[in-house]
Structure 1
Amino acid sequence: MRRFPLFAECLTAGVLVVLAALPLVTLLPALAAGCAHVKAHVDGETTALRAFFDRVRDAARGGLGPSTGVVAGFGALAADVAVLRRVPLPGGGVVSAVCAVAAVGLAVVVLRAAADWSPGERWTALLRSAARRSAADPSGSLLLVVALGVLVVVTWQLPPLVVPMLGCVLMAAVAVERRRSRLRDAEHL
């Protein structure tokens, strides 16, 4: 019974992240606030709506430029795949697959950066660090790829479930980052 409140907070975080990310350029701050919302619940801190939007505001400081870059990166990859699907080019299938893998890799890096965010952090440093952690911790990255895969399959089956499933992906990102820090602490003992 103790796990249901966590699931409910994940659902709430999913709804709030979708609302906060509607302008698209606020994608990174919205994801960071969603991960912070899940962490706050797990740590017994406040999960009030005002606290969520305060976190979005804090994460938006210096985050709109990198967020725009991330959205542009996803857009470029999606546009490449769309063009390759319409215009049959030699090797187009391979390029489409590479674009899909790159999009998943970018999503993993973004989720890891959002889960590691705390007030005052610089987004460029967070994204660089998340890219290094994604490569150095392949099992954690694979866990996030599986979470994204579940998000895609569930959303494909029933599109309105994208909102609650996004909250579950945020929970997975927080769990992967906490797992990484616990493993690192265990190695130093």
Structure 2
Amino acid sequence: MSRRQREAGRGRAAAARDGSSLRWPGATAKFTLFGEVLWVGVLCCVAGIGVVTIPAALAAGSAHLHRFLRAEDSSLRHFAADFMAALRTGWLVGLGVAVAAGLLLLDIVVAGSRLLPGWQAVLTAGVVLLAGVLAGLAGTTALWQATRSWRSAGRQWFRDARNDPAGVLWLVAAVVLTAMVAWQLPPLVVPGVGCLVFAALATAVRPRPSRS
């Protein structure tokens, strides 16, 4: 038996012991999971083309991926139903995020011109706040499916962020990597968005000391 086979056997045994293969049976097919993440990226990019529809698209993509991981029906029909449900009030979230992101991007551009006194601090603050807004959006969309309420999902994300700052840092890193990949090669925004949805969902379901 090769070392790779022994490691795979140990991985399956560990999954059986901690119950992860029972909780997330769809994750056992790693190549299929990768393809589903790419498909979610396509769905989210198409559904989010209206800009204010981005939160609803990410929420529907997260719900779709969650169903796939649970080995439940993850058809396009369910994605469309989730998208329409999330869009009812999610467009307001999208409008708010678009305005906030636009103002922060303007702040970054102006600070990058180096014409303002203390531009370094302004630039740093703008980048940090923008990453925080986008991470908060991604984290909230991953929690929307549980309550079908944007307000409840946002409150839950803030509670989780308080209890799990490391998870927030992981999510910020995912946002930054997605932005860097999209900036360097725009077509890669599609798989990048899929990976971001997956990262947000993984962060949302990871164990925490308390979820109160």
What TM-score does the superposition give when structure 2 sets the normalisation length?
0.80
**Superposition map of 1:2-151 within 5 A:** 2-86=29-113, 88-118=115-145, 121-151=148-178
User: Does the CA contact (< 8 Å) of 2:140 and 2:157 recur in 1?
Assistant: yes
Quick one: distance in 2 between partners of 1:165 and 1:114?
A: 16
Quick one: distance in 2 between partners of 1:50 and 1:165?
A: 23
Distance 1:130-1:119 versus aligned 2 partners, 3 A rule: closer
Q: Deviations over 1:48-104 (max 9, x none)?
A: 222111110011122111221011111110011122223611111211110110011
**Corresponding position of 2:24:** none
The total of aligned residue pairs comes to: 185
* Residues 49-58 or 77-86, more deviating: 77-86
How far the C-alpha of 1:184 sits from its partner, in A, is 4.6
Q: Deviations over 1:97-121 (max 9, x none)?
A: 1011001111111111100112763
Report percent identity of matched pairs: 35
Quick one: distance in 2 between partners of 1:94 and 1:138?
A: 23
Distance 1:119-1:92 versus aligned 2 partners, 3 A rule: same
What TM-score does the superposition give when structure 1 sets the normalisation length?
0.89
Quick one: distance in 2 between partners of 1:125 and 1:44?
A: 26
**Superposition map of 1:141-180 within 5 A:** 141-179=168-206
User: Does the CA contact (< 8 Å) of 1:28 and 1:63 recur in 2?
Assistant: yes
Quick one: which amino acid aligns to residue 172 of structure 2? Answer: V
**Corresponding position of 2:19:** none
Quick one: distance in 2 between partners of 1:174 and 1:43?
A: 13
User: Does the CA contact (< 8 Å) of 1:108 and 1:134 recur in 2?
Assistant: no
How far the C-alpha of 1:153 sits from its partner, in A, is 3.3
**Corresponding position of 1:183:** 208
Structure 1: 5+ residue runs without aligned partners? none
Q: Deviations over 1:113-165 (max 9, x none)?
A: 10011276321332233233223311111111222232233334422111111
Q: Secondary structure, in 3 states, of the residue corresponding to 1:164? A: helix
Quick one: which amino acid aligns to residue 37 of structure 2? Answer: C
Structure number with higher relative contact order (C-alpha < 8 Å, ≥ 6 residues apart): 1
User: Does the CA contact (< 8 Å) of 1:109 and 1:134 recur in 2?
Assistant: no
Aligned-CA RMSD value:
2.1
Q: Secondary structure, in 3 states, of the residue corresponding to 2:170? A: helix
User: Does the CA contact (< 8 Å) of 1:110 and 1:130 recur in 2?
Assistant: no
Quick one: distance in 1 between partners of 2:155 and 2:68?
A: 27
Quick one: which amino acid aligns to residue 106 of structure 1? Answer: V
Quick one: distance in 2 between partners of 1:111 and 1:177?
A: 10
Quick one: which amino acid aligns to residue 80 of structure 1? Answer: D
